[in-house]
Amino acid sequence: MSYQGCNCGLSSKCVQSSRGMMAGCYPLEALLQSTFQCFYNQTCIDSNNVFQALNTSSSTSSQFLTNSTIESILNKLMVEDYSINISYENYFSKCEPLLCSYSYSGHRDILDVTLNITGIYGGLCHNCKIYCCIISQTIPQQEPESHSTE
């Protein structure tokens, strides 16, 4: 089967247009290439005898035009507007968690590692000096024996 010189055996995107509605090898490919123009036109709807036209006067404004392809609208997930409303108070009042904690996992850079090693080394040296002083004061010191020669 072919549409306008396009062979369905070679391409799945072979379609032919009829007032914004597409017909083709595969219904899904034809639908994705169609626009909403026919859906807003009662004459076009009547020719299909299946649908009721959408009322455009009562619909709110949209970022999608009636001649936008269904594929382009689906690529935007049919979302008109993303609104982000983060409320930790609402989350905690609804979820009522028993414990709240967070963790930080990040990579340490060379300066951070160097400072930590230097700090540990300095702390160990300082503690060793203190322990050596304490130990040397607690061990009784023996006086050297003097040998007298008579």
- CA 139, 140, 141, 145 torsion-angle sign: negative
Q: What is the pLDDT of residue 51?
A: 44
Domain spans of the chain, in order of start: 2-79, 107-138
pLDDT digits (tens, 9 = 90+) for 92-109: 888 888 888 888 877 778
Please state the pTM of the whole predicted model: 0.35
Report yes or no: 13 and 20 within 8 Å, Cβ to Cβ.
no
Structure tokens at 92: 């905690």
Phi and psi angles of residue 32, each rounded to the nearest 5 degrees, phi first:
-65, -30
- Helices (H), ranges, 49-109: 70-75, 88-95
